Amino acid sequence: MSVSEMFAALQGALGQDQDIREEIRKEVQTLEQTAREILTLLQGVHQGPGFQHIPKKCQKAREHFGTVRTQMESLKTKFPADQYYRFHEHWRFVLQRLVFLAAFVVYLESETLVTREAVAEILGIEADRERGFHLDIEDYLSGVLTLASELARLAVNSVTAGDYSRPLRISTFINELDSGFRLLNLKNDSLRKRYDGLKYDVKKIEEVVYDLSIRGLNKEATVGAGGEK
């Protein structure tokens, strides 16, 4: 084979690779649009009347995740099944965003931390990497850390809306989350940096709880803790 023939073959391989990346990019764009729609929907809980409509917003978000599952099925067909990590960077960000959104919905519904397996099911992908397109552990953890920041914001807005018990429950949840992350030996630089931000979320929520205590509103919150969340 001549040099020109060798480089012609290489150009063909590069062209095929570029075509795959372009197809992936198009699918990721549709996922990003759906993620934006879910985020916009859930942001309504931060507004005063939004607390009254949490169940309806979560139900609507679940419907959007049906669209996500369809889009994920399409994405899976755009690249060889054994080359997940070769193209992972293309969907890493949107997948982390979707993990956060799924975790936020589950928290709003039950005030519990969603498992990686449950998130994978919500998104229509696998939890086990051996089974193909899966939810990478670091992507799951990144999404959970974004949830922590969102809950810190929710704690502040809860007080504004007159819900004084929710910040106390959020504080308990975030402290348990922080304890869980302390058990991990994080090597990934990006994930480590994001985890470092968790201490600021913990501090922000502690300030909210402290303010409630100073104003005597924590007693009111404790009395009402047996009511609806």
Of all helices (H) and strands (E), which one includes residue 40? helix 3-42
Q: Which two tokens stand for residue 9?
A: 């073959």
Nearest 5 degrees, angle CA 113-CA 115-CA 120? 130
Spatial CB neighbours of 9, under 8 Å, sequence gap ≥ 6: 1
Nearest 5 degrees, angle CA 143-CA 149-CA 152? 140
206 is in an annotated binding site: no
According to DSSP, the residues that pair with 134 across neighbouring strands are 126
Distance (Å, rounded) from C-alpha 152 to C-alpha 187? 25
Annotated binding site for Mg(2+): 150
Annotated binding site: 150
